[in-house]
Every structure is written in C-alpha cells, then in structure tokens.
Structure 1
Amino acid sequence: MKQRSRHRWLLLLLLAAFGAMNAVAFFHAWRFTHFSNEPGLHSPNPEQLGPGRKVWLLLTGIRNPKPHNGPKPSFPVETVTIASPNGPLEAWLARPDSGQTRGTVALFHGYTSSKSHLTHEAGYFRHLGYNVLLVDQAGNGNSAGFRTTVGYHEADDVAATFHWLKDSTSKPSGSPLFWRGAGGEVPTSGEVILYGVSMGAVAILRAEAELGIRPTANILECPYGNMRQTAYNRFESMHVPGFPMADLLVFWGGVQNGFWAFGLNAEHYASQIHTPTLLLWGTADPRVTRTETEAIFTHLAGPKARHDFHNVGHEPYWKRYPADWERQTRAFLGR
C-alpha cells in the first residue's frame, strides 16, 4: 500500500513538473513571438549575457518591444504601402541615380529588426543600378501588428511584395517594362531580386517553395535550417540543455500563431527552389550552424553559389568585410 502511494505521489509530481514546464514554455513562446507596445530596447542576445542575467532571462522571458525604424537613408525614398494578408506593410522605394535600371531588389530584414537596418545594402544595390524596396515585415517597424512568426507568416509578406512589384510594372507595346510610382514612370528590366537576412531569408524560401512566387534571383544571408534546431541553438548559446524546453517552445509558438512550427524548415524549402541563389554565412554564427548552412545549400535545386565570411557571427557581413561582401553580390548579380 505504501509503495502504491509513493508511486501515486511520484506520478503527481511528474505531472506537476510537466505542467509547469509547459506553462513556462507557453509564456516564453508568447514573449518571443509577440512584440509589446512599450518603449525601450530588446533583451540582449543570450551569448552576450553573464550567468546571472541568463538565469533571470529564463525566469522572466525576453523583453520584446516592437522594433522601430531608425532614420531614413541618405538617398531619396518614397514611402509606399503594400497590402499583405498580415495587414498593411510600410516600405521605402528608391530608384538609382541613373535613369535606366537593371531591375528591383526587395529587401527583407531579420527578427526584431526593421527596414532601416538594410539601408547600407540598399544603397549598394542602387549603386549597381537597381531600384530598391525596403520592407517592414508584419509586426515590425511601421507595418501593422505586433506579432512575428520568425519566417512562416512573413512568407506572405514576401509574396505580397513580389506581386505588388509585378503589378506595379506594365509592358507597353514595343517596350521595356516601366515602373509606375508617385514619382512617374521609370524604365526597368522587370527583374525582381529578393534579398533576405535570417528570418527574411527563410521567409523568401517559404514564399517560393509553398506560395509559388518566381523571382529572378535570391541573395540569402544566414537563413536558419529549421525552427526546432534554431530553438536548440538558442539554448546552446546560453549553455543550457535544450531538451525538452526547446521542443515545448516550438510547439507552443506554433499553436499560439496558427501553424505547425516543426514544419518551418528551410532545408526542405530549398529542395523546391530553382531560382538562382547566393547563400552567405558567417563561420562564427552561434545561431545558424555550418551543418544547417550546408544542408540548405546542398538542397537548393537551381543554380547556386555560396560564400562564407571567416570569423563573423550573426551580423551584417559588410561591416567586417565590406569589399568582399560587395564583390560577392556584384559577381553574382553580374551573371
């Protein structure tokens, strides 16, 4: 009888512990995928925290205010609105200084970021002769909402932007394509290049694999392999065991946001991508492993190129290797 009672109490203890872990995971998943309307800065990256602050982060969740835009770029931009299933998106449209353009590069930022973080990259694409369109993905910057799904629903933003670009051009008889905007008609080749960083890169892959868009080319910086591995990488960066909390975070994050988060898999999407793609990665990236990067590159089904930046983490590559970053992008687009 005493042994049966002990087993019953042990079972109740295990159930209580499992319930507590799910409650904590639910809370963390909500904080991770929902921005608050409070001022201030996002919690520092886990790898930047000391042991005490890591414990506090595990207990309280991340501080996640909605990302805001910084100053507009030094070159002239036109603010446009793009209709997306996630709500209206704000974007900046800019044309190159030269009249004739090579096409348009649409730029998509990473997690807890905004379009103003990509003005340097956009400026270089303008220098190469492209129109540029910098997009605040849903929940970020001046776009609608306070939610992020780290690439899943953001794929709808990518698709909406792509269709907006295609609808904003026309082909008169005899003609090159023309860009139609508030500033008038500007000749363009009609090419659409998609440039994405981290979350933005994964959103591009899903938009092509599952939503059927067909851009001219992709430039992808540090896309993660799959959501589950990304969660484990986060725990690894804090030197905390991932199991089972990482899996619970992924599960509840998907439930809260209406999708199967374990299926958010860039490696799988890559096998359906026939678009010419340049894949860029930093060898010291704590959030995206070499194994993930190699799997994505191996699975890409179309023409592809890859370049690794030595000893660079999850950060803009042009800051450490400006000449190399420019050389890689210029050579790829020149093909």
Structure 2
Amino acid sequence: MPRNSTRKPRRFRQLLLLVVLGFLLVNAVAFFHAWRFTHFTTEPGAHTDNPEQLTPLQKVDILLTGIKNPKPRNQTTPSFPYRTVYLNSLNGRLEAWYSAVPHPRGTVALFHGYTSCKSKLLTEAAYFRGLGYSVLLTDFAGNGGSAGNVCTIGHHEAADVAAVTRWLQRRPGAVVLYGNSMGAEAILRAESELGVRPTANLVECPYGSMLQTASNRFLSMHVPPFPLANLLVFWGGVQNNFWAFDLDATRFATNISTPTLLLWGEADQRVTRLETDAIFANLRGPKQRQNFPHSGHEPYWRKNKQLWEETVAGFLTIL
C-alpha cells in the first residue's frame, strides 16, 4: 500500500484533534471569563480598569486571566436625611436608603450600573430631592449591602426593580424609575417581561443586547468579538440559569408604553448610537431623548451638568 494513503488519515486525525482541542480551549477561556464577569469575589483589591483605560499589555493579561471583580462596596453615605430599609426580592434581601421630603411630588427609585452600588448615585438622588421627590437608592442583589455575589448584567436584576417598584406603589404618589447602564437595562426588562408599571422612566445608556455589549467590550480592546463574545454570552447565561441572548433592550422597548426619557453620551464606546436609536424607535409610549456631547459611559452631570439637570427637570414637569 502506498505511504501517502496511510499519511492522509493520520494527518486528518491530527487536524481533527487540533480542532477539538482548540474548541475546548476557547470554550474553557469563555467559561472562565463568564464566571468572573458574573460572580463577584470577597477578596480585597481594586476592580479592573475599563477597557479604554488599559495598556496593550494589560489587555493581553485580561484576555488570558479575566477581570478582577471584587464585590462593590458603598464607601460613602448620603449627606441628606435617610434611613436604611431592607426589601425582599427573588434574588435575596436588598439593602436600600430611603429619604423622604416634605409634600413629595412622588418617589424616584435609583438603580446603579455594573460593578457599582447605590452610593454612586448620591449626586443624582440629591438633585431629585431638590426637585421635590423622595428617593430610594437600592443595591442590586450581589452588590453593596445586598445579599449574594452574583450579577447578571440586568436579567435577574429586573426582579429587584420589580420588588422595589411594588414596595413603593403600596405608598401614595408617583413612582419614577431612574437607572444607568445595567440599571436601565433591568428597568426595561422589568417592564417588558415582569409586568412592572411605574409612572415614568429615566434611563441612561441601556445597551441594545447582551451580545452587542459583550462585542463592544472586545472591540474597545481592539480584539475581534467573534467567537469569544458569543461564547461569553452563552456561558454567562448557562452558569446563571437564563438564556442571555434574549437580554435585549431593543426588544424590551416594543412592550413599553410608560413615558420614558432616554439619555446617551455621544462619546460612549460601550453603547453605540445605533443601539440607542433602535431602543428609542421601539418605545411605544410618550418618549423624549437627549444626547450629551463629550460624555462617555459615565454620569452625564460630570461634563454636562446644566444640560443634564435641565433635561431631567423638564421631563419631570410634564408628568
């Protein structure tokens, strides 16, 4: 028998083995990254910087080892009067700060973003109080003073939004939901899929879909998103018992008739204009939109304080 006839099957088996090993390795890396993204640790230390702030060597290190994700902690407390309350959610016990004002126009419930906590929203809360609203700032499950260490980037957190909203709706007055990034995503899912019906929404930079936001993170590090972004979303959902490809604010918006103000920063590298355009176009109720020049994925009052305050106040006056 010619030697070539025996070499071809052997080379095919070797190639097949390499393909299988490569497939297993890529999935193992994605599985590990997904776990680090969705499970906070109790180890001390700083959270990994945003992708835009990393050096090329640091980006390689993150791709190989994953991000550092210690559980966010509240480092400050409100300067205005407040009391700590505990609410029950499907995700466990939530810690919240409640601050009432005399003769309130209603209550604004504030929800933070990924790797954050309620103390990061004290500036916004103080402004809402100045407009005549009581405020309730809540740590999502897994964050700050709330129970657990799991974060699903908006999916399970929607149940926390529902618990907070229903607690407030047992009291008199309008209930306005305010959230940024993950908090905004959780608000939109809570209304679309969990039957939450607030008086109004103020949502800052919700991402279009979980797959899109994962892809954007890879693109911000100048790494091709496929197939790692797809595998990251797949394993993140499997690990936390939900189908993460359905975490999609563009679709959620089609079921939302609540008056909604959508805010977006024009320098945002993590949530694109196309995502924001699609969400806004799909909202079914009364809606307004405001873009903020020079602002990235950050609080808009930092670089556009007057515009942010005027936009928020103007929207609330029509309720």
Structure 1 length normalisation: TM-score?
0.93
Q: 1:13 aligns with which of 13, 18, 41?
A: 18
Displacement of 1:295: 0.3
Displacement of 1:311: 1.7
**Is residue 229 from structure 1 mapped to residue 232 from structure 2 by the alignment?**
no
2:46 is aligned to 41
Unmatched tracts of structure 2, length 5 or more? 1-5
Distance in 2, matches of 1:281 and 1:304, equals 14
Q: 2:261 aligns with which of 278, 285, 288?
A: 278
Displacement of 1:70: 1.8
Q: 2:142 aligns with which of 129, 139, 142?
A: 139
> Does the CA-based 8 Å contact 2:40-2:70 persist in structure 1?
yes
**Is residue 217 from structure 1 mapped to residue 220 from structure 2 by the alignment?**
no
Displacement of 1:39: 1.2
2:288 match: secondary structure: strand
2:76 is aligned to 71
Distance in 2, matches of 1:39 and 1:130, equals 36
1:58 is aligned to 63
Distance in 1, matches of 2:111 and 2:55, equals 31
- Could you tell me which amino acid in structure 1 is paired with residue 161 of structure 2? V
Distance in 1, matches of 2:246 and 2:263, equals 23
Displacement of 1:5: 1.1
> Does the CA-based 8 Å contact 2:294-2:303 persist in structure 1?
no
2:3 is aligned to none
2:70 match: secondary structure: coil
Distance in 1, matches of 2:138 and 2:301, equals 20
Displacement of 1:166: 1.7
Distance in 2, matches of 1:249 and 1:67, equals 22
Distance in 2, matches of 1:114 and 1:82, equals 16
Displacement of 1:12: 0.8
2:95 match: secondary structure: strand
1:198 is aligned to 181
> Does the CA-based 8 Å contact 2:36-2:67 persist in structure 1?
yes
**Is residue 121 from structure 1 mapped to residue 124 from structure 2 by the alignment?**
yes
Distance in 2, matches of 1:139 and 1:148, equals 6
Displacement of 1:289: 0.4
Distance in 2, matches of 1:285 and 1:166, equals 34
Distance in 2, matches of 1:30 and 1:260, equals 15
Q: 1:149 aligns with which of 134, 147, 152?
A: 152
1:28 match: secondary structure: helix
2:262 match: secondary structure: strand
**Is residue 82 from structure 1 mapped to residue 65 from structure 2 by the alignment?**
no
Displacement of 1:213: 0.9
1:83 match: secondary structure: strand
- Could you tell me which amino acid in structure 1 is paired with residue 207 of structure 2? Y
1:32 is aligned to 37
The one-character-per-residue Cα deviations of 1:102-146 (angstroms, maximum 9, x if unpaired) are 000000000000000000000000000001000000000000000
Distance in 2, matches of 1:310 and 1:322, equals 11
Displacement of 1:306: 0.2
Q: 1:269 aligns with which of 252, 256, 261?
A: 252
Distance in 2, matches of 1:320 and 1:40, equals 28
2:89 match: secondary structure: coil
Distance in 2, matches of 1:318 and 1:311, equals 11
Displacement of 1:95: 1.5
The one-character-per-residue Cα deviations of 1:8-62 (angstroms, maximum 9, x if unpaired) are 1101100000000000000000000000011111000111011101001111100
- Could you tell me which amino acid in structure 2 is paired with residue 305 of structure 1? Q
Distance in 2, matches of 1:311 and 1:251, equals 33
Displacement of 1:301: 0.5
Distance in 1, matches of 2:214 and 2:312, equals 30
1:106 is aligned to 109
The one-character-per-residue Cα deviations of 1:199-235 (angstroms, maximum 9, x if unpaired) are 0000000000000010000000000000000010000
Distance in 2, matches of 1:192 and 1:166, equals 7
2:307 is aligned to 324
**Is residue 308 from structure 1 mapped to residue 313 from structure 2 by the alignment?**
no
Q: 2:161 aligns with which of 158, 174, 180?
A: 158
Corresponding residue pairs, total: 313
Distance in 2, matches of 1:95 and 1:125, equals 11
Distance in 1, matches of 2:299 and 2:75, equals 16
The one-character-per-residue Cα deviations of 1:229-262 (angstroms, maximum 9, x if unpaired) are 0010000000011110110000000000000000
Distance in 1, matches of 2:183 and 2:13, equals 49
Distance in 2, matches of 1:41 and 1:53, equals 14
Distance in 2, matches of 1:290 and 1:237, equals 15
Distance in 1, matches of 2:78 and 2:103, equals 21
The one-character-per-residue Cα deviations of 1:267-314 (angstroms, maximum 9, x if unpaired) are 000000000000000011010000000000000010000000012100
